[in-house]
Structure 1
Amino acid sequence: MPESTAPGSGELAPSQSAPSSASEASTSRVSAALAGIAPSATLAVDAKAKALRAAGENVIGFGAGEPDFPTPDHIVEAAVAACGDPANHRYSPAGGLPALKAALAAKTRRDSGLDWDASAFLVTNGGKQAVYNTMAALVDPGDEVLLPAPYWTTYPEAIRVFGGAPVEVFAGIEQGFRVSIEQLEAARTERTKALLFVSPSNPTGAVYPRDEIAAIGQWAVEHGLWVITDEIYEHLTYGGAVHHSLPVLVPEIADRCVVLNGVAKTYAMTGWRIGWMAGPADVIAAATNLQSHATSNVCNVAQAAALAAVSGDLEAVAMMRAAFDERRQRITELLNAIDGVECPVPEGAFYAFPNMEGLLGRRYGGAEVTTTLELAAAVLEHAKVAFVPGEAFGAAGYARFSFALALEDLTEGISRIADLVA
């Protein structure tokens, strides 16, 4: 829609008319459920950076959570071949192509040791639909979902849209961004339905060790809670950190556990929009029914590409991980060299999550900055560097920097911030 006719732009859109009364003016034109959803802060930052680049500004963006590598050739070639197969020009099963679901079961068995049948998997339009489907299947109005913070921006919105209440459990830099059982127990009430567990973490890069995962899983079993575990960064761990799948360590949780994953991060396939959820038969059946009405089948060509990805070797993944490893060490070094910034070394994913509170209470470009929201705006305006402020992740005072960008751009971007705040 053109800017001049966008609602809120100062002019009425063609389909609108002026409200006839104060009462009508105060009534939202959209449902309360959707009116309450906050926009994706990470996508907004990325869009702003791209818009400034298009206008000729030399902006370096740390906002987007996507690899900067192209999708490996063999995956693209599989998609090209699929385009020529007439079978892919037609509807396919809403829950996913049978060959892909079988491959997902085999891949999961290979990579994490979780041995679930192909029928336990539902192929979705990206990891976000897997999150949405899961909340739709599990959350009723009034249910509480324990949400360790800092968290990915989509999680609380997906919980709220179905009437659930995200209960934030914060673990800061002094805890390595890992919540404790004591914290979870303190947050649990009789309305607690589920725990959303993520390791490796977006946005912090934290990776829970084996014993902590097992203890959290056993705690959930003891209290009859569901566990929703997002494993999309399973292959992106560094140094001595290792990914462990919670239902593998605690098999007793299997009947009350949903595992989320996707090809986006591991195989540099963010634009292909293939994710999946795996879980108990009744949950998968309910989510499949929802998807059959919401979107029907996922794009067949993208499914063919995903089949090639998860069935192939991990050589390209190892190459990308090595590059990310070098970048994570460099960005941590550069951020910690800035007076007022404290950045732990991320153990997984491709994000650094520094504490920026030491940069607040100063003036940049003539204006005093008191929050990381204001700091992000000042840095974008005066240094032409985009990052996502911690408020988007339930962590005011922090910031997320994706290091999925070229090493020279990464170095230039952090150096610009250092020059601005010096």
Structure 2
Amino acid sequence: MEQTANKQTRLSQRVRSIQPSGIRRFFDLASKMDNVISLGVGEPDFVTPWNVREASISSLERGMTAYTANAGLLELRVAISDYMNNRFQVDYNPDNEVLVTVGASEAIDLGMRSIINPGDEVIIVEPTFVSYAPLVSMAGGVPVAVGTTAASHFEVLPEDIEAAITDKTKAIMICYPNNPTGATISRAKLEQIATIVKTHDLIVFSDEIYAELSYEKDHVCFSSLPAMKEQTIVINGFSKAFAMTGWRLGFVLAPPDLLDAMLKIHQYSLMCAPTMAQYGALEAMRNGMEDIEKMTLSYQQRRNFFVKTAKEIGLPCHKPDGAFYAFPSIAHTGWTSEEFAEKLLIEERVAVVPGSVFGKGGEGHIRCSYATSLVNLEEALKRIGRFLEAHDIRGN
């Protein structure tokens, strides 16, 4: 007993307070079962396009294996700058406003550690990606949740953000299109949030990793709004749109003073992103837009099929605006989202993620990734329908 206590006390209090990812438990449980269809994986089912893989292989063959600049290959930073200008009409200087990171997750971590002082509050719009609140806490800050609901299609209400602001508020964290709901934020709502940001002199973390996976609504980059570039840290990367999850490559865009602070942490902790991955990303930036269009169209078709069929089998589901997640409601069943997900996995071998792992606002829902084949989606929904029927819990 004493030895266990000693092992606990030698750990950081901040780390001891952080719970492991709730997603991982269901992945571990599903991995021990046969015949499981997983709707839990948050990554594309496409292989990275061949021209991107070839560019990376070529860089190795040419011996391009040394460190790059801490901020990343200049050619890649220029390409990212051009991309942001062409796609979202916002200018970033590749010399001091663009940093290539080891995934978008590192970019978020760098941003949090760069601006947060002990006790600073960061407003986080929920349901939300599982890492945001822990990263705030590990940086010494206090995460403050602002919820959204299915009634508003999970689009955050600016007045709810305003109501959560205190004299300790330092920043706001938003993600759109959203993981796990697939919701986005309209330009009108973003402009209202921008007014709040300006009034209270806040910093916005805008996670736009799913920007390219937007369907009927055009994506609006938060920093492209008037006067918002100086107040915004934009998070993006190559994992989702370019099907490069395992490459672990992201980028962050910020004003020079904020980027310089992030670069200091980056250079001491990681030096630079992997060189061969950066050459692959450079090819993706230069010649990858056509592949994005094809993948996005496929996701849109799967989304339409999933939402239509889910409603037909008695699983209420709003229509996502982007990303590759649906967030059906299971509130009518009387079970918690964790109970529903565990019963479904055990009885029908379908893996989904309980909405509760994405914050309190996610309870009563499950996250289903439709980044899998239509054949798998059809079979998964057939099994879910059978599960609902067996328990007499079909919703409207």
TM-score range, shorter chain: over 0.9
Specify the alignment match of 1:13 in structure 2: none
Letter in 2 for 1:348: G
Scaled by the length of structure 1, the TM-score of the pair is 0.88
TM alignment of 1:136-147, pairs within 5 A: 136-147=113-124
Specify the alignment match of 2:317 in structure 1: 343
What's the offset of the Cα at 1:25?
5.2
Letter in 2 for 1:249: L
Unaligned 5+ runs, structure 1: 1-17, 361-369
CA distance in structure 2 between the partners assigned to 1:93 and 1:43 by the alignment: 34
1:419 aligned onto 2:386 = yes
What's the offset of the Cα at 1:26?
8.3
What's the offset of the Cα at 1:210?
1.3
Identify the match of residue 272 of structure 2 among 286, 290, 297: 297
Specify the alignment match of 2:65 in structure 1: 89
> How many residues were matched structurally?
386
Letter in 2 for 1:222: T
Alpha-carbon displacement from aligned partner over 1:259-300 (angstroms, at most 9, x marks no partner): 000000011000000001110112111111111111111110
Contact 1:42–1:64 under 8 Å retained in 2: no
What fraction of aligned residue pairs are identical, expressed as a percent? 32
1:186 aligned onto 2:160 = no
**Aligned-CA RMSD value:** 1.5
Specify the alignment match of 1:264 in structure 2: 239
1:396 aligned onto 2:372 = no
Identify the match of residue 113 of structure 1 among 89, 92, 107: 89
- DSSP-derived class of the 1:321 partner: helix
- DSSP-derived class of the 2:123 partner: strand
Contact 1:63–1:402 under 8 Å retained in 2: yes
Contact 2:242–2:288 under 8 Å retained in 1: no
Identify the match of residue 39 of structure 1 among 1, 7, 20: 20
Letter in 1 for 2:386: D
Specify the alignment match of 1:7 in structure 2: none
1:233 aligned onto 2:207 = no
Which one scores higher on RCO, CA 8 angstroms, separation ≥ 6? 2
What's the offset of the Cα at 1:98?
1.1
CA distance in structure 2 between the partners assigned to 1:40 and 1:102 by the alignment: 35
Letter in 2 for 1:166: P
Identify the match of residue 353 of structure 1 among 327, 350, 358: 327
Contact 2:156–2:185 under 8 Å retained in 1: no
Letter in 1 for 2:65: H
CA distance in structure 1 between the partners assigned to 2:116 and 2:245 by the alignment: 27
Contact 1:207–1:242 under 8 Å retained in 2: no
CA distance in structure 1 between the partners assigned to 2:305 and 2:140 by the alignment: 42
Specify the alignment match of 2:43 in structure 1: 66
Scaled by the length of structure 2, the TM-score of the pair is 0.94
What's the offset of the Cα at 1:92?
2.1
1:206 aligned onto 2:187 = no
CA distance in structure 2 between the partners assigned to 1:43 and 1:319 by the alignment: 30
Unaligned 5+ runs, structure 2: 390-396
CA distance in structure 2 between the partners assigned to 1:331 and 1:228 by the alignment: 31
What's the offset of the Cα at 1:28?
3.2
